[in-house]
Structure 1
Amino acid sequence: MQLQITSLNSGSNGNCYYIGNEREAVLVDAGISCRETEKRMMRLGLSMRKVKAIFISHEHSDHIRGVAMIAKKYSIPVYITPDTQHYGRLSHEPITAISFTAYEPVQVGNLTITAFPKWHDASDPHSFMVSYEGINIGVFTDIGEPCEHVIKHFGQCHAAFLEANYDDGLLDSGRYPYYLKQRIRSKHGHLSNEQALNLFTEHKPAYMSHVLLSHLSKDNNNPGMLKQLFDLNANGTEIVIASRYQETPIYTITNSFKPIKHFKGEQLQLL
């Protein structure tokens, strides 16, 4: 059994994540246009007809920009809370909106999607875990700080989309006004590289095979520096930078990942 995952886009210009098995798939957020979503999936050999649901994390435009057109064109139901639908101005769009509740699993074919609360400056923000045959994929972005909900679910994931939005030094020296820097750093803002790394090193399960570092700031982060930082602490987990300009490759996730343990400076592959 396996799941395929890819980031179709990740950043303040749009966020959209694909998770699916051999029969069905879901999108978490739809923050790029329908046309761009189609183009990127086509380049990866993925079919929009396989997408059976869209789950919306919160109402900010970089997470909902393409949802109405995609949902209408392909008759895809949109799982969204009433507050998110209202404040995202989607209440009058011709979409099939289905409300979800935190910790009440939603079944989409053989996929199970569980939402849970998170800290962010939105009306009713949620993160998601997508599960299939014992494989768990988490989407942890737009988070001010790792609350107990995030920590609990991250520790159960075989792969995760994990926000690493900004480097503290780059944010300090950058052009953003003071109030915006404070908003980004607040518990309703975004995860820093340091916060993401601490979550990763302290709570990563041994079987986590992939982490896609997501929602990087264009102005306040450095992808190369970030990847090097995580690679030094990866302990066998593949580190991927999710781009704000293009899709990532497709990654196949199974529940048979064999972790690498370190013994006195050497690596031993567990069999």
Structure 2
Amino acid sequence: MPVYFASLNSGSNANCYYVSNGVTAVLVDAGLSCRETEKRMQRLGLDMKQVKAIFISHEHSDHITGVEMLSKKHQLPVYVSEKTWNNTNLSVDVQLLKHFRKDEQVLLDGLQVKCFSKSHDAADPYSFMISSNGINVSVITDIGYACKQVLTHFQKSHAVFLESNYCETMLANGDYPYHLKRRISGDEGHLSNEQALDVFFNYRTPQLSHLILSHLSKNNNKPEVVDALFQPHAGTTKVIVASRYEESELFCIDGAPLSVPTATRKKQKPVKDQRQLSLF
């Protein structure tokens, strides 16, 4: 059974990612309005009735704006960590509110969703690996650096939505105040183009068929800069830059899954400490 996936929107304005096995689907984050989410899914030929849950990575507004209305209108369970939930002002039917824990795997009619922690300036941030029939699709955005959990799941994945938030030169030379530059580039901020390329170059595996570069900054990045940086290293991996203005195409992985091979190059230790930092 094939696995389908798409970015409905990706950026600091709104984030929403779709993953399905053709029968059951989930949304990772719901930063678009309910109406806009429905429109974009309809344009892709996707059926909202197949969506069985929304998974929330953290409480920042660009990830949760559409949660209440989507859950209410379509009676969708909302999976979120308890700490994250307590840092939102959302209201969801108590019967639809589901709390997950670190490293929990949620089973949903043929889909398995692994919830793993990451480093970001939020109460209790998570990324997700969605699996079906041995095919793994991971959503790894809003990370300050590639911690051990991120690298482990990146190497297990056949497709990854990977953050490539900012160009280091553009951020350094831009007009953001110093404290904001430090926040963005810090261990609990966002992943730069160069850091994302390091993850891809050093930790990719032959089974990685799709890399969707996500959550680009409007002010400190450009899609053409990201594309030019990654395409020379793409090899057999299809590299796509997700838009902050529209949905991507609907991608599909079909066929027998491969076993997880070793990386194409010898792994190098990340520059930053592998310990998961305390969050606030």
TM-score normalised by L of structure 1: 0.93
Instruction: Look up the SS of the partner of 2:26 in the other structure.
Output: strand
Aligned to 1:54: 54
In the TM superposition, what is the alpha-carbon distance from 1:256 to its structure 2 partner? 4.7
CA distance in 1, matches of 2:216, 2:256: 29
2:139 matches 1:123:
no
Unmatched 5+ residue regions in structure 2?
Answer: 265-280
Report if aligned partners of 1:135, 1:255 keep a CA contact under 8 Å in 2.
no
Amino acid across the alignment from 1:93: V
Report if aligned partners of 2:71, 2:92 keep a CA contact under 8 Å in 1.
no
Amino acid across the alignment from 2:115: A
Aligned to 1:24: 24
CA distance in 2, matches of 1:127, 1:99: 15
- Give deviations 1:101-130, integer Å, cap 9, x for gaps: 121210011000000010000000000000
Aligned-residue sequence identity (percent) comes to 51
In structure 2, do the counterparts of structure 1 residues 221 and 2 end up closer, same or farther at CA, with 3 Å as the change threshold? Answer: same
In structure 2, do the counterparts of structure 1 residues 162 and 169 end up closer, same or farther at CA, with 3 Å as the change threshold? Answer: same
Aligned to 1:144: 144
Aligned to 2:174: 174
- Give deviations 1:7-37, integer Å, cap 9, x for gaps: 0000000000000011110000000100000
Report if aligned partners of 1:113, 1:129 keep a CA contact under 8 Å in 2.
yes
Root-mean-square deviation over aligned CA pairs: 1.5
Aligned to 1:212: 212
Aligned to 1:82: 82
CA distance in 2, matches of 1:170, 1:98: 40
2:95 matches 1:93:
no
Instruction: Look up the SS of the partner of 1:230 in the other structure.
Output: helix
Report if aligned partners of 1:140, 1:161 keep a CA contact under 8 Å in 2.
yes
In the TM superposition, what is the alpha-carbon distance from 1:132 to its structure 2 partner? 0.3
Report if aligned partners of 2:134, 2:257 keep a CA contact under 8 Å in 1.
no
CA distance in 1, matches of 2:149, 2:73: 34
TM-score normalised by L of structure 2: 0.90
CA distance in 2, matches of 1:59, 1:22: 29
- Give deviations 1:177-204, integer Å, cap 9, x for gaps: 1110000000000000011000001111
The number of residues matched between the two structures is: 259
Instruction: Look up the SS of the partner of 2:233 in the other structure.
Output: coil
In the TM superposition, what is the alpha-carbon distance from 1:94 to its structure 2 partner? 3.1
2:184 matches 1:184:
yes
Aligned to 1:265: none
Aligned to 1:267: none
Unmatched 5+ residue regions in structure 1?
Answer: 263-271
Aligned to 1:269: none
In structure 2, do the counterparts of structure 1 residues 229 and 256 end up closer, same or farther at CA, with 3 Å as the change threshold? Answer: farther
